[in-house]
Amino acid sequence: MLELIVTIVGVSIGLLLLVAAFALGGYVDRKHLANLAERERLCQSIQLSQSQHFFSPHFGGSPPQIVTAETVVANNHFKRFLASWRKFFGGEIKSFHVLVERARRETLMRLVENAQQQGFNALCNVRLDSVDIGGNTTAQGMSCICILGTATAYHSSTAKPMEATII
C-alpha cells in the first residue's frame, strides 16, 4: 500500500514538473524569440561581415576596437525529456537545433548593440564559437549551450541597411 502511494506521488511530481516546464519554458522561449526579432529589426543598419577585411574604412574617428559578447542558454526540462526519447530513436533533435540558433542570434545581437553603443557602424571578422564551460555536457541533467562572440568594430563609409543575420 505504502509503496503504491510513494509511486503515485513520485509519478505525479514528475508529471507536474514536465507540465510546469512545458508551460513556463514555452513562455520564456516565445518571449525571447519575439525580443530577438524586434532587436534585429532595429539593428539592420550595421554592416556585418565575417571576413578579416575592413570594407571601406572611414578614417578620422576612433580606431577599430574588439567587441565581445557571450550567451549561455539551456533547454527546458520538457524539451530535454523529449530529446532523450529522440536520442533513443535517433534523428534530428529539433529543440536543440532551435536553441543553438537562438543562442547564436542573441550573441550576434549583443555584439551589434555593443558596437553601436560605442558609436561604430560596422563589424568585421565576426566569430561565433560554441564552448564547453564547466563540462556541462557531462554533468548529470545539466546541458546548456554557450556561445562566445568576437568581432572587430570600426567605422565604415559604406554601411548601408542590410540583413542583420549572417547565418
Partner 1 sequence: MEHQIFVVNTESIPGFRVVQVKGIVQGNTVRAKHAGRDIAASLKNLVGGELKGYTELLTESRREAMARMLQQAQQLGANAVVNVRFTTSAVTSGASEMFAYGTAVVVQPDV
114 belongs to the binding site for partner 1 (CB under 8 A): no
Residue 14 vs residues 9, 100, 103, 139: alpha-carbon distances, Å: 9, 26, 28, 20
66 belongs to the binding site for partner 1 (CB under 8 A): yes
109 belongs to the binding site for partner 1 (CB under 8 A): no
Beta strands 65-74 and 47-48: pairing type? unpaired
144 belongs to the binding site for partner 1 (CB under 8 A): yes
* Closest to 148 (Cα-Cα) out of 118, 98, 111: 111
The nearer residue to partner 1, 45 or 125, going by C-beta atoms, is: 125
83 belongs to the binding site for partner 1 (CB under 8 A): no
Selected binder of partner 1 within 46, 47, 48, 76 (CB under 8 A): 76
Residue in the structure block whose three cell numbers are 547565418? 167
84 belongs to the binding site for partner 1 (CB under 8 A): no
- Residues in the site for partner 1, rule: CB under 8 A? 17, 20-21, 24-25, 28-29, 32, 52-54, 57, 59, 63-66, 68, 70-77, 79, 99, 106, 124-125, 127, 129, 131-136, 138-139, 141-144, 146, 148, 150-152, 154
